[in-house]
Amino acid sequence: EQVENVDQGTFHPTIQDAVDNAGEDETVQVEPGTYNESVSISTTNVTLEGPNAGINENRDARSDEAVIAGQLSVSAQNVTINGVQVTPNTETFNQTPAAAIIVSESDATVQNNRIADFTVSITDIEPNSTQGIQVFNAGNEITGIEIQSNSVENITYEGSSQAPSGDFGTDYGNLYGIHVQGEIGNTVVEENTIRNLTSGGYTLATAVSGTDSDVTANPEEI
């Protein structure tokens, strides 16, 4: 494994260390391998590139993957995620929203990534649903999101379709391939491949929805 800030010419022990030390308009490049970490990007205008940046699997064969074995979250504007694989597990979501990639700020681009090959147990985490890719903000409107040419596949959400406490009813255990949720505007979701999703509750390839925490925070122009 190797992580490089190509603008600074520096190498880093982890992806998180690289993005923490990246400046605006800089690119972090990740070589093939497995990276046992969750990554949070909170610097504006940062690009994270894996070995399959620019590869749309609908037309081209992917090469060896840079696998992030945790969650990838975007909490800064104008961030690009291009050409990595994200493969979390149940333990990843003990304290976080259950989405392999979660975007909560404007002008993000998520493209040519593979979100795949993992199982989450609903009986071991607090969230009542799992997402491959989630765009979510209930407090402030975010706009200008592009979710393009990703593969979301081979994901299983295990457990009963009924919450252990009965609070969530029969829809407990939902699995979404791609979920646009909350006060989201001017967002494009296109040319994604979604396959082999299995859940004890509802299974949805894609969904656009509001949020229970704020009934006025609804998506527009998706």
Q: What's the pLDDT at 213? A: 75
Per-residue pLDDT, 125: 77
Candidates 8, 80, 85; CA nearest to 44 is 80
One digit per residue, the tens of pLDDT, for the chain of length 222 reads: 899 999 999 999 999 999 999 999 999 999 999 999 999 999 999 999 999 999 987 788 999 999 999 999 999 999 999 999 999 988 888 767 889 999 999 999 999 999 999 998 877 777 778 899 999 998 889 999 999 999 999 999 887 555 455 455 555 678 999 999 999 999 999 999 999 999 877 789 999 998 877 788 889 999
Q: Do residues 192 and 150 lie in contact, with contact meaning Cβ atoms separated by under 8 Å?
A: yes
> What span, in angstroms and rounded, lies between the C-alpha atoms of 102 and 55?
21
Q: Quick one: pLDDT at residue 204? A: 92
pLDDT of residue 160: 56
**What is the rounded CA–CA span in Å between residue 212 and residue 53?**
36
The pLDDT score that the predictor gives to residue 139 is 82
Verdict on whether the full-model pTM lies above 0.85: yes
Tokens of 177: 């391939």
Predicted pLDDT at 93: 85
E strands, the chain, where? 3-5, 10-12, 27-30, 33-35, 39-41, 47-49, 66-68, 72-74, 80-82, 85-86, 99-103, 109-111, 114-121, 129-143, 146-148, 151-158, 174-185, 188-190, 193-199, 203-209
3-state helix, strand, coil split of the chain in percent (to 5) is 5, 45, 45
Which residue matches tokens 């799992």? 130
Widest Cα–Cα separation across the chain: 54
Give the N- to C-terminal CA distance of the chain in Å, as an integer. 37
Sort strands 3-5 and 27-30 into parallel, antiparallel or unpaired.
Answer: antiparallel
Buried/exposed code over 74-92 (b: 16+ C-beta within 10 A; e: otherwise):
bebebbbbbbbbbbbebeb
Q: Are 87 and 117 in contact (CB under 8 A)?
A: yes
47 near 29, Cβ under 8 Å? Answer: no
